[in-house]
Amino acid sequence: MSTRPKPLVAGNWKMNGLKAALSEVSAIRDAAAAGEAGRAELAICPPATLIAAVADICKGSSVATGAQDCHARESGAHTGDLSATMLKDAGAAYVIVGHSERRTDHHETSEMVRAKAEAAIAAGLTAILCVGESQRQREAGETLTVVGEQIEKSWPKGASPDSLVIAYEPIWAIGTGLTPTPADVAEVHAFLRREVERLLGGQGTGVRLLYGGSVKPSNARELMAVPHVDGALVGGASLTAKDFMGIAAAYKA
């Protein structure tokens, strides 16, 4: 019991949010201070343009700031990219790596994702490493093979419960309103726990395993109750304080 990690509910804003959206961040911070997230830790991963502002608003609160990607190098001639060190400097504590949208849009491989996760850890950030199967792969019964291969190939050196979070995000569930059944999530998360324990030994019990893909206030309680689900990575429903806190409320006693 005592080894159960503190849950994390992280919002991935993707390419959404102008300065006007910062009022949602203040509302999330205030709701968290009022105990609305129960025992869960919260993180908001806005677009890079808002990281410093979000970090400023959340300073001294229980809400952390995260980024959505980082470059594998610390600095250099990489126009348009941001290093993990820069994100940390801007106030981020977390960075998402290997999101399926980046694997697709930017052709990121698991090897590239590993290099990014290692850069994140070296910079003192916690990497939120995303894995997940496509609809075709699920229908072909390949889910555990695909997810296992992603974990194996993208597993960063220096991983620990403090430096690494895994997010299981079935691609077909992202932004579609579809979710796997609790039994399907349970199967993947039990597998992930075994894999993480194999790679990290006893420390593996402390690594947080998030579920992501169409998490909403209406399904959060059921999904968060699944064994080995230690929180959520939330896209669309993280854009308003009302919905995001409605999800975090799954961790209120």
* Binding flag, residue 214, ligand PGA (CB under 6 A): yes
Smallest distance from ligand PGA to CB 247, Å: 9
3-state secondary structure at position 179: coil
Which position among 161, 204, 213, 231 is part of the footprint of ligand PGA (CB under 6 A)? 213
Which position among 124, 158, 175, 227 is part of the footprint of ligand PGA (CB under 6 A)? 175
> Which residue from 176, 243, 242, 165 is spatially nearest to 211, judged by alpha carbons?
165
Smallest distance from ligand PGA to CB 240, Å: 12
* DSSP assigned state of 12: E
* Binding flag, residue 233, ligand PGA (CB under 6 A): yes
Smallest distance from ligand PGA to CB 167, Å: 7
Q: Nearer Cβ to ligand PGA, position 66 or 236? A: 236
Q: Nearer Cβ to ligand PGA, position 3 or 16? A: 16
- CB-count burial class (<10 Å; 0-12, 13-18, 19+) for 104: exposed
User: Which residue's structure tokens are 């597993």?
Assistant: 155
Does residue 169 carry a catalytic annotation?
yes
Q: How many residues bind ligand PGA (CB under 6 A)?
A: 13
Q: How far apart are CA 193 and CA 240, in angstroms?
A: 31
Number of H helices, E strands in the chain: 10, 8
CB 223 within 8 A of CB 179: yes
Q: How far apart are CA 127 and CA 121, in angstroms?
A: 7
Smallest distance from ligand PGA to CB 120, Å: 17
User: Which residue's structure tokens are 């949010």?
Assistant: 17
Q: Nearer Cβ to ligand PGA, position 12 or 83? A: 12
Smallest distance from ligand PGA to CB 121, Å: 21
CB 97 within 8 A of CB 54: no
Q: Nearer Cβ to ligand PGA, position 91 or 212? A: 212
Phi-psi map region of 229: left, alpha, beta (phi>0 left; psi -120 to 50 alpha)? beta
Does residue 99 carry a catalytic annotation?
yes
Which position among 66, 156, 180, 212 is part of the footprint of ligand PGA (CB under 6 A)? 212
Supply 77's token pair. Answer: 């001639």
Which position among 166, 215, 224, 247 is part of the footprint of ligand PGA (CB under 6 A)? 215
Q: Nearer Cβ to ligand PGA, position 124 or 177? A: 177
Question: Which residues contact ligand PGA (rule: CB under 6 A)?
Answer: 12, 169, 174-175, 212-215, 233-237
Active site residues: 99, 169
